[in-house]
Amino acid sequence: MELSLRVPTALDVVEEAVDLVARHCVACGIPPRAARVRLRVVLCEALANAIVYGNQLDPGKRVNVRVQVGVTGVTVHVEDEGAGFDPSVIPDPTTADRLTRVDGRGLFLIRQLSDEVHHNDRGNAICMIMRLH
């Protein structure tokens, strides 16, 4: 199964988009717990990052989401219309000087909950792979 969405740059639609994707994944045989926890968190964080940091809350821009469900797992692609960034320079949010900050944990969570994470060269697209164990 493949599902594609074009999401407006608005934080209030993130939950609805994540719910839609999770329901389709469960309907395709993904265990509900995997969809409820891992998939929801990584997609929510990727969408929020794309909306806030990528598209900089510009309502004229969109975020493209493509989800592929197979027998071995789920692949989620999220691409914004922003300039991109270098993911290697994002600081570790678990260091002592960053523990009290309220930002900077999205990419960390995505990396912890996904089996693989890839970015395109421009830095405006992320691919998250979650295998079914």
Would you state the structure tokens that stand for residue 26, as one six-digit string?
A: 């469960």
Calculate what percentage of the chain has a pLDDT beyond 70. 100
In the block, tokens 């329901």 appear at: 23
Are the C-beta atoms of residues 28 and 69 closer than 8 Å to each other? Answer: yes
Structural domain that includes position 16 = 2-131
What is the structure's pLDDT at 92?
A: 87
- Residue type at position 127: C
Domain count of the chain?
A: 1
CATH of the domain at 24: 3.30.565.10
Residue 96, class by beta-carbon neighbours within 10 Å (0-12 exposed, 13-18 middle, 19+ buried)?
A: exposed
pLDDT, tens digit, 9 for 90 and up, residues 19-45: 999 999 999 888 888 788 899 999 999
Arithmetic mean of pLDDT over the chain = 94
Whole-model pTM: value is 0.93
**How many C-alpha atoms does 90 have within 13 Å on its Cβ side?**
18
Residue-wise pLDDT tens digits, 88-126: 998 888 889 888 887 778 999 999 999 999 999 999 999
What distance in Å separates the CA atoms of residue 54 and residue 69, rounded to the nearest whole number?
Answer: 25
Q: Supply the Cα-derived Rg of the chain in whole angstroms.
A: 14
CB 73 within 8 A of CB 129: yes
